[in-house]
A and B are shown apart, each in its own frame.
Chain A
Amino acid sequence: MSSHESNYQPTTRFGKWLDERLPVNRLVYDQLVAFPTPRNLNYLWTFGGILALCLVVQLITGIVLAMHYQPSGEEAFNSLDHIRRNVNYGWLIQPMHAVGASMFFLAAYIHLFRGLYYGSYKAPREILWILGVFIILAMMATAFMGYSLPWGQMSFWAVTVITNLFSSLDSIIPGMGTAIVEWLWGGYSVSGTTLNRFFSLHYLLPFVIAGLVILHIWALHVVGQNNPAGLDIKSDSDWVPMYPYAVSKDVVGMFAFLLIFAWFMFFLPDYLGHADNFVEADPLVTPPHIVPEWYFLPFYAILRAIPSKLGGVIAMFSSILVLVFIPWLDTARVRSAKYRPIFKWFFWLFVITCIALGYLGALPAEEPYVTYARLFTAYYFAFFLIIMPIVGIIETPKKLPGSITEDVLGPGGGKGASAGAAAAPEKR
C-alpha cells in the first residue's frame, strides 16, 4: 500500500511460508515498523495514535456497558444507575465511556486544528482529509445517539430538539420534514421506541468509524505524513522509520493524554456532563435550558444564530461540510502556516471564534448573545470561503527551509544522521 519498496525479510520458515500465502507480517513490518516518517514531527502528530486509542477505549467500554444496559424507555435510566451502583467496577466503566467521548472529541479537535494549521489537507492529502471529515461526522452521529441512552432529561430533550430540526424540511416540500421526523422517532413523539433504535445505531456506527479509520490510515500511508515544515521527504536524511522513532514519541503523547483522561474520569466524572441528565426523562417537563454536550456547542451556536429554522440547519451542517472543500479553497503555495505570516493571524482568530461560539452555544438564545453568535458565525464561514482563497493569493510566504533535514538542523545541516543509521539504531 505504500509507495515505498518493501524490504521485509521473513526470518523463520513459518514466516516465509506465511509470507507467500498471506503477507500480514510484511504488511505490519512495512506499515508500522519501516514506514518512513518525517524526522521533524512535533507532539501534535501524536494525536492520530491517541485517537486510535480513544476509539479502542470506547469500543471496549461500550461493549461491556451494553451487557448491562437495558435500552427501553422504562428501564434505561434505572439500568445506568444500576451499572454505577451494583455492577463490579461499573462506577469506573460508565464514566470511562462518558468521559471517553469527551476526550475523543478533544483529541479529534486538536488533530483537526493541527491539520488546518500545517496545511495537511493540501495536495496530495485531499482524500485523507475528506475521510477525516467523514470520521468526525460519524463520530458526531455516534455521540449524539449515545447521549440519548442514559434517558435523562437532557438526553430526551436533546433528541427532541435535534430530530425536530428535520421538520424544517417542511418549508421546502410540505409534509416531507414531518414524515422524516416521525420515521426517525418510530412514532408521533420521542419515546422508548426511539431510544431502542438509537441504541442499535449507536452500537453499529463505531464499526463504521473503524472502517473509515482504516481507509484514513491507508490513505495516510500512501501519501505519507505531512510535517511542521510542510515539505515532502526528498532524501534519506529527511525521514526516520516509524519504529522505534515515531512510536517512542507516540507512546509519550498517549500516556500524557491518559493523564488528562484519568484526571477527569476519577476526579471530575460529572464535570463535563449535565446535571439534568440525572433526572429521568419526562416528556411533560421541559428543562429551562436545553444544551448539548460541550463538543457540540459551537455548532449549536451556529444553528441558533440563523433567524430561519431551515437556514440554521443548513448553516450547522455546512459548518462541517465546508471542510470537505478546503483543499481547493486554500490557494496558498505553501502548506504550513508557520511560513504564512498573514494566514497565521486569521487562523488563530478562527480558533478564538470556535471557542467563542462554544461559549455562546451554552448561553440562552437571547440578546446580546445572538448578535455575538452571528458575528462569529460570519467569521467562521468567511475564514473558509473568503480568507482562505484571498490570503493564499496576496500573501508572500516566508522562505521555506531547503529540506526537512534543514528544518531540524538549520541551513547547511544535513550532515547529521541519515535514515541508514536510523533504521538500525541498535548498531550505531
Chain B
Amino acid sequence: MTKTLAKSLGLVAVVAIAGSLTLAPASFAAGGEQPHIEHQRWPFSGIFGQYDSAQLQRGFRVYKEVCSACHGLKRVAFRSLSEPGGPQFSEDSVKALAAEWPNQITDGPNDEGEMFDRAPRPSDPILGPYKNDKAARAAQNGALPPDLSLITRARNTHNDAWFPVHFYLMAKDVFTGYQEGGANYLYALLTGYHEPPEGFTVNEGMNYNAAFPGHQIAMPNVLDGGPVDYSDGQEGYNGPASSLEQNAKDVSAFLSWAADPTLNTRKQIGWQVMLYLLITTILLYAGKRRIWAKFH
C-alpha cells in the first residue's frame, strides 16, 4: 500500500514537472531580446575546417583598405601574415607592407632621451591610427572603434531557442565542432545595415543595424557596395566578384584568423591525437576483455 502510494507520488511529481516544462515554450522564447543570427559555413568551421589562405589575403585587403582607417590589430604582428596557417603573404611583401604602414610605432627613448616615431618592422604589431582610446574617441564623436585582434572570439551569437531545440543545437555544434559564433556575428553585423523599421528612431550620428544589440551603431555601413575590388580591373580575373557580402565574408574570415592564428595546426594535431587515443582505447579494451575473460 505505502509502496504504491509513494510510487504514484513520484510519478505525479515527474508528470507535473515534465508538464510545466512543455508548457514553457512560448514564455521561454519570449525572453530573447537579442537579434537572431544565422549560422554560416566557413572554410575553417567544423572539425575538418582549415583557413583558406586566398580568402584570408582578400580579407586582409578589406581590413587594410577599409577597417584600418579606424581599427587596429595591436596583438597581431606583421610577421604572422607570412606564417603558415595564415594569409601566407611572402616575407618580402610583408616587409614592404610594414615599411609602408601609415601608423607609426612609437619607440625610444633615444640617446637624447626623446621618444620618436618610426616605420614598423615585421616583428611590430599592426597598429590603428589612434595612439590611445581618448584620441580615438575625440576623433570619432565619442565612439571607440575597438581593436580587432580578438574580435571574433570576443563576440558570439545567442541561442535562445525553446529548450529542447536549444539542447539539440548545442549537441549539433558539439558533434560537428562548430564554434564560429563570432564570425557569424561579425558577418551579420557588416551585412546588417538596413532602413530602420517603422517607428524606430535612430539617434544623431548613429546607424541602424539589425545584428547590433540595441540596433544603433556608431560605425557607418563602410562596406556598402563592396568597395574592395579584388580584380583590380584586370582582364581574365576569375576570383570572387566583389560585393558587400563577399567583402564582409572575407574580412570576417581574416579577423577569425587574427583572433585564432593556430587553428590549422590545432585541428591537424587534434586529429593525430584523436586517432592515437581511439586506437589505444580499442587496444586497451581488447586487453581488458582478455584479462577479464574468466569472469564473464
Footprint of B on A, CB under 8 Å?
Answer: 39, 78, 81, 84-85, 91-92, 240, 244-245, 248-249, 251-252, 255-256, 258-259, 262-263, 265-271, 274-276, 278-279, 288, 341-342, 345-346, 349, 352-353, 356, 359, 363-364, 366-369, 372, 375, 379, 390-391, 394-396, 408, 416-417, 421-422, 425, 428
Name which residue of chain B comes closest to A259, CB basis: B277
Given A255-B280, A256-B281, A275-B154: A266 and B6 interface contact (C-beta under 8 Å): no
Residues of B contacting A84 with CB < 8 Å?
A: 262
Given A84-B262, A85-B75, A256-B281: A278 and B154 interface contact (C-beta under 8 Å): yes
Partner of A244, one of B261, B267, B291: B291
With contacts defined as CB atoms under 8 Å apart, how many contacts are there between chain A and chain B in the complex? 143
Judge whether B163 and A91 touch: CB under 8 Å. no
Name which residue of chain A comes closest to B14, CB basis: A349
Residues of chain B from 145 to 203 with CB closer than 8 A to chain A in the complex: 149-150, 153-156, 163, 166, 173-174, 177, 179, 181-182
Q: Cβ of B211 < 8 Å from any Cβ of A?
A: no
Further pairs besides A249-B288, A341-B3, A395-B6: 14, Cβ < 8 Å: A85-B261, A85-B262, A92-B266, A245-B292, A259-B274, A263-B177, A266-B271, A271-B174, A279-B154, A345-B10, A349-B10, A349-B14, A391-B6, A428-B294
Judge whether A417 and B20 touch: CB under 8 Å. no
Judge whether A262 and B281 touch: CB under 8 Å. no
In the bound complex, how far is the Cα of B177 from the Cα of A256, in angstroms? 18
Given A39-B295, A372-B24: A267 and B277 interface contact (C-beta under 8 Å): no
Judge whether B295 and A91 touch: CB under 8 Å. no
Name which residue of chain A comes closest to B263, CB basis: A91
Q: How far is the CB of A404 from chain B (nearest CB, A)?
A: 11
Partner of B75, one of A81, A248, A363, A394: A81
Q: Cβ of B47 < 8 Å from any Cβ of A?
A: yes
Partner of A275, one of B153, B266, B274, B281: B153
Given A275-B182, A396-B3, A417-B294: A267 and B284 interface contact (C-beta under 8 Å): no
Partner of A345, one of B11, B181, B288: B11
Given A251-B284, A255-B284, A278-B153: A369 and B31 interface contact (C-beta under 8 Å): yes
Residues of A contacting B213 with CB < 8 Å?
A: 288
Given A262-B273, A266-B266, A345-B7: A271 and B14 interface contact (C-beta under 8 Å): no
The number of residues on chain B lying at the interface, defined by a beta carbon within 8 Å of a beta carbon of chain A, is 57
Judge whether A252 and B269 touch: CB under 8 Å. no
Judge whether B6 and A342 touch: CB under 8 Å. yes
Q: How far is the CB of A103 from chain B (nearest CB, A)?
A: 13
Name which residue of chain B comes closest to A376, CB basis: B17
Given A85-B261, A266-B273, A278-B259: A375 and B14 interface contact (C-beta under 8 Å): no
Name which residue of chain A comes closest to B76, CB basis: A85
> Majority SS of interface residues in chain B?
helix
Residues of A contacting B284 with CB < 8 Å?
A: 248, 251-252, 255
Q: How far is the CB of B276 from chain A (nearest CB, A)?
A: 9
Given A275-B154, A395-B6: A266 and B270 interface contact (C-beta under 8 Å): yes
Partner of A278, one of B6, B47, B150: B150
Q: Cβ of B285 < 8 Å from any Cβ of A?
A: yes
Footprint of A on B, CB under 8 Å?
Answer: 2-3, 5-7, 10-11, 13-14, 17, 20-21, 24, 27-28, 31, 47, 75, 80, 149-150, 153-156, 163, 166, 173-174, 177, 179, 181-182, 213, 259, 261-262, 265-267, 269-271, 273-274, 277-278, 280-281, 284-285, 287-288, 291-292, 294-295
In the bound complex, how far is the Cα of B177 from the Cα of A47, in angstroms? 25
Judge whether B280 and A92 touch: CB under 8 Å. no
In the bound complex, how far is the Cα of B256 from the Cα of A413, in angstroms? 62
In the bound complex, how far is the Cα of B175 from the Cα of A271, in angstroms? 12
In the bound complex, how far is the Cα of B267 from the Cα of A85, in angstroms? 16
Q: Most chain-A CB neighbours within 10 Å: which of B181, B265, B266?
A: B266
Judge whether B295 and A240 touch: CB under 8 Å. yes
Residues of A contacting B11 with CB < 8 Å?
A: 345
Q: Most chain-B CB neighbours within 10 Å: which of A240, A271, A395?
A: A271
Given A266-B267, A276-B154, A416-B295: A359 and B20 interface contact (C-beta under 8 Å): no
* Top 8 A-B residue pairs of the complex, sorted by shortest distance between their CB atoms: A266-B270, A267-B177, A278-B154, A275-B156, A345-B10, A91-B262, A255-B281, A248-B288
Q: How far is the CB of B283 from chain A (nearest CB, A)?
A: 9
Judge whether B153 and A270 touch: CB under 8 Å. yes
Residues of B contacting A341 with CB < 8 Å?
A: 3, 7
In the bound complex, how far is the Cα of B149 from the Cα of A52, in angstroms? 37
Residues of B contacting A252 with CB < 8 Å?
A: 281, 284-285, 288
Judge whether B31 and A366 touch: CB under 8 Å. yes
Residues of B contacting A394 with CB < 8 Å?
A: 2-3, 5-6
28 residue pairs from A and B, CB less than 8 Å apart? A81-B75, A248-B284, A248-B288, A249-B292, A251-B284, A251-B288, A255-B277, A255-B284, A259-B281, A263-B274, A266-B267, A266-B269, A267-B47, A269-B266, A275-B154, A275-B156, A276-B154, A279-B150, A341-B7, A342-B3, A345-B7, A345-B14, A366-B31, A368-B27, A379-B17, A394-B5, A421-B294, A428-B294
Q: How far is the CB of B179 from chain A (nearest CB, A)?
A: 5
Q: How far is the CB of A265 from chain B (nearest CB, A)?
A: 8
Q: How far is the CB of B215 from chain A (nearest CB, A)?
A: 14
Judge whether B179 and A268 touch: CB under 8 Å. yes
Residues of B contacting A390 with CB < 8 Å?
A: 6
Residues of A contacting B281 with CB < 8 Å?
A: 252, 255-256, 259
